[in-house]
A and B are shown apart, each in its own frame.
Chain A
Amino acid sequence: MLYAILCYNPEDVVGSWSKEEDDAVMERLAVVQDKLREQGRLGPVARLLPTTAATTLRKGREDPIIIDGPFAETKEQLLGFYVIDCASLDEAIDTARDLARANPGTGSYEIRPVAIFRPGSNFS
């Protein structure tokens, strides 16, 4: 089963990391990703720009409204995601646990089974 692991983190904290701290976290996450890749379980991985760079299209009327950013006053924002092939929910939780160990602090990982997956073009 494919699982999406959605990474929610406090954007202001992640944005306060120095370049060295950011690099160190990315390096540790790369170790987790390498392991998954070797096992043939790693699908697409994305790190998103801050929500300040985001635009939202709100549906529900004939001409949808375009607004700046997600406006949610939440403490944590969706900052990235993985698609991972897992034999069970337990395995998906283990993977999220590995990611959490590589990137400590507050935040959460939402583990969502994937209903439809189309890999699309192979971007570099």
Chain B
Amino acid sequence: MSDTAWIDAALTAARPQAVGALLRYFRNLDTAEEAFQEACLRALKNWPKNGPPRDPTAWLIFVARNSAIDGVRRQAKQQPLPPEEHLSDLEDAETAIAEKIDGSDYRDDILRLLFICCHPDLPATQQIPLALRIVSGLSVRQIARAFLISESAMEQRITRAKSRIGAGEVPFEAPDAIERAERLAAVAAMVYLIFNEGYSAGSGESQARLPLCEEAIRLARLLLRIFPTEPEIMGLTALLLLQNARAGARFDADGSVILLENQDRGLWNRKMINEGLALLDKAMRHRRAGPYQIQAAIAALHARAVHAADTDWAEIDLLYTALERLTPSPVITLNRAVAVEKVRGPAEALALIEPLEDRLSGYFHFFGVKGGLLMKIGRTREAREAFNRAIALANTAAEAAHIRMHLDGLARD
């Protein structure tokens, strides 16, 4: 890795903590971001020459703070900035600064930074870009590419989101335990949204959207580092890793969807799976089950099955039942139906999902699963009807193509 690549990685890693601390200090997001930007520029100039500082994050916070304050003073007095060496030379002061940055604050700083992005007034389409811009530091162009819209449209979306946050109250006081838990839950949900935004993309789009999955994993790991004993954050991180491990096996060369049972398991990323399984093992020791841990446990059963036929569907059925109890939702019942079919046959699975039709009448997967079950029972006409509705509701070309394959199969029979 070259010097600049290493510096880039260090700046990216420092960003959430540094911008979070600057936000607490300046109480203004734009000022905090600009100050961090300024400090990054100084780092790029200073670090290759003097070597990296012992604590890059502390260095960046200190330099950012100084330059922003100097900026304000300069505007007030119309005086020139002190010389560069004076501003960025921290050789002696460095250890002192590292100690002055209160270790207990940084966790809430990062959480606050993430939390303002999931402001209840912001729709998910704005929350995600905002978090990627502010917390992850992706460029507007990178985010626009991931969302498949133009750079100027994304710029507008982010600006709008920022002004909405500015108008509302940003919670600057340190949260109490309950508030902290609530913030953490909201932030975890947003990280999961970011991941799904990337994961649900079709194959043609998946290259552009892949960074969303990686970024979500990075944010989950960041949350886990600041809350290292939260089983649900272990579960969330495990879930994302276990799902993302399958990324390389989900589409064939033509871009068609390959279902889990037909995937080449040799293409699954073992390193990610191992980390996911290790985190899940740790989480389970706490005996405080939650939705992320249960979903991770389901993903782990798939990951542990060497062949699709080895999958422990009875256990998956039980886990989905537990998940339904914690967070009742027709989509979870629909997922459980897939396990029920494997354990007790398609007729029973169909009986389980038929009552859901009212609530899932606009959901592609409902009609995909329903069509598949009807087909297996031999109710061909109804199966065709369900598949046609699925195609009408498909979100990506790959989804539609997959269902069409079933329809073609029915036509041949």
Contacts and interface: CB of A to CB of B under 8 A. Distances in A.
Given A50-B221, A52-B279, A103-B1, A73 B103 contact: yes
A13 B13 contact: yes
Given A106-B52, A106-B54, A13 B10 contact: yes
B225 interface: yes
A66 B275 contact: no
Contact of B237 (A52, A68, A73): A52
Nearest to A22: B1
Nearest to B55: A75
Interface residues of A, number: 28
Given A13-B13, A21-B1, A103-B1, A52 B228 contact: yes
Contacts of A73: 103
A25 interface: yes
Contacts of A105: 1, 6, 9-10, 52
Contacts of A53: 275, 278-279, 282
Contacts of A106: 10, 52, 54, 56
Contacts of A103: 1
Interface in B30-84: 52, 54-56
Interface of A: 10-13, 15-19, 21, 24-25, 49-50, 52-53, 55, 66-69, 71, 73, 75, 103-106
Given A12-B225, A52-B225, A66-B285, 7 more contacts: A10-B13, A13-B13, A15-B221, A52-B234, A52-B237, A105-B10, A106-B56
Interface of B: 1, 3, 5-6, 9-10, 12-14, 52, 54-56, 103, 214, 218, 221-222, 224-225, 228-229, 234, 237, 274-275, 278-279, 282, 285
**6 tightest A-B contacts by CB?**
A16-B13, A12-B13, A105-B6, A53-B278, A13-B13, A52-B224
